[in-house]
Structure 1
Amino acid sequence: MNLAVLCTARYIGPMFTRLFFLFFISTAISFSAPIPNLEATDQNGRPFQAHSLKGSYILISFVFSSCPMPKMCPLTMRLNKKVQTLWKQKIKAPLSLLVVTLDPGGDTPEVLKKYGARFSLDEKTSFLVTGDPQKLSDFGSAFNVAGWPSGNTTVHNLKTILVGPNLDELKQYKENEWTPEQLIKDAQAFLRQ
């Protein structure tokens, strides 16, 4: 065998293997930045900042209280309530629920308070927020969630996001095609890591 070919195979091969391994590992491990901070007003009329929930797992969803479609926002709220119930039974770590309105003009703090009560959300750990439309929109955009007025309703996509205690995004759940039981299993897997 040619000496040049032998030397190349002997040194380049292992180097290529190391580079491939490093590339594979760096793409397999997820390095996520903290979620953006959201400054808003909660259902009790108090100032709210998303980063104030650091130290707790956070379940973020985007809805509006006058949603006329039972399988959209109302279903999201029922799923959130079920997650709260199962979480308390199966997971020791704290969970905060952050519900962001897509209709800040209609969803005042008073309206959101009634909306949360309608679904029997835990008042101590649930934050239904409204506020500056641009800030709410920017926060939604960080998760590829968008809403826009259409006639007398708001058209939007659905997404629920599980966030870790260090404010890192752990998983997104699209539409309402997930179950509270699956989210709990996912959270338990994250807790074991």
Structure 2
Amino acid sequence: MIDLGRQLAGLRRRVLLALVMLATLLLFAGCEDKGPYPLELSDYQTAVLGLDFKTLPARGLVDQKGEAFSFANYWADGKPVMMTEIYTNCPMPDMCPMLMAKVARAQTILAEQGVKPQDYRVLILSMDPENDPPEAMLSYAQVHGLRMENVTLVTGNKQTLDAVMKKLEVGIRMAPDGELIHSMRTYVMDAEGKIAAGFRQSGWKPEELATRLKGQL
């Protein structure tokens, strides 16, 4: 005798799985690299191109010391910034870990060219603040070789950081296994908090990032 209830339950599970897979594919399609590195300003949507980063929401955000963070105060001293986003449990070696290593290498290149840490700043935002407490962010940055003299690591309120990621054109979705599926953007910001250059994912070269940052000094 056919168990109709069991068949319907199985059908619902298959439909749900198909919908999850479709959503994942669409996210990757939207985040796929389709252009050269680095991004040209014409590649940006008008909204992010004209965004004043000093006005980004900061409610409930903290740095690696657990102290309150605001984007407005961060740019108060008028220094250029290289900024990107990561999550510390990222299992993909060619994504967050590689990105952090490249930012660290860009710091080294700038130092070799005589640029002092106090001349610019490095800002790293968490994409998974619920699992990235300040001490985890600090440990992750240190493990990947960042020079901490001018680095600020931001975590804290998930709702706030989700809103920030949306404004930065960073797509994030939680997979069924708990892994974050995400795109990545690395920006060079001028002293006024406006985009000067940008890079997709992690396929760019540290030399390019260093050159773009140095151009803002």
Please give the range of the TM-score, normalised by the shorter of the 2 chains.
0.7 to 0.9
Superposed, 1:11-90 pairs within 5 Å as: 32-35=50-53, 36-39=55-58, 40-54=61-75, 55-90=78-113
Given the two structures, how large is their TM-score scaled by the length of structure 2? 0.69
Q: Secondary structure at the match of 2:106?
A: helix
In the alignment, the residues of structure 2 paired with residue 66 and residue 79 of structure 1 have an alpha-carbon distance, to the nearest angstrom, of: 18
AA partner of residue 100 (structure 1): L
Q: Does the Cα contact within 8 Å between 1:98 and 1:127 map onto a contact in 2?
A: yes
Given the two structures, how large is their TM-score scaled by the length of structure 1? 0.76
User: Which of 144, 147, 155 is equivalent to 1:122?
Assistant: 147
Structure of greater Rg: 1
From the superposition, tell whether residues 188 and 121 of structure 1 become closer, same or farther in structure 2 (CA, over 3 Å): closer
The list of structure 1 runs, each at least 4 consecutive aligned residues, that deviate by more than 6 angstroms after superposition, is none
Q: Does the Cα contact within 8 Å between 1:112 and 1:128 map onto a contact in 2?
A: yes
Q: Shift of the alpha carbon at 1:185? A: 2.4
In structure 2, what is the equivalent of residue 10 of structure 1?
none
Q: Tell me whether 1:103 sits opposite 2:128 in the alignment.
A: yes
In the alignment, the residues of structure 1 paired with residue 178 and residue 189 of structure 2 have an alpha-carbon distance, to the nearest angstrom, of: 32
Q: Shift of the alpha carbon at 1:137? A: 1.1
AA partner of residue 56 (structure 2): N
Which deviates the most, 147-156 or 59-68? 147-156
User: Which of 175, 200, 207 is equivalent to 1:181?
Assistant: 207
Partner deviation per Cα, 1:112-134 (whole Å, 9 max, x = no partner): 11111112322221111111111
Identity %: 23
Which deviates the most, 120-129 or 95-104? 120-129
Higher strand share: 1
In structure 2, what is the equivalent of residue 133 of structure 1?
158
In the alignment, the residues of structure 2 paired with residue 88 and residue 38 of structure 1 have an alpha-carbon distance, to the nearest angstrom, of: 32
Q: Shift of the alpha carbon at 1:33? A: 4.2
In the alignment, the residues of structure 1 paired with residue 146 and residue 57 of structure 2 have an alpha-carbon distance, to the nearest angstrom, of: 21
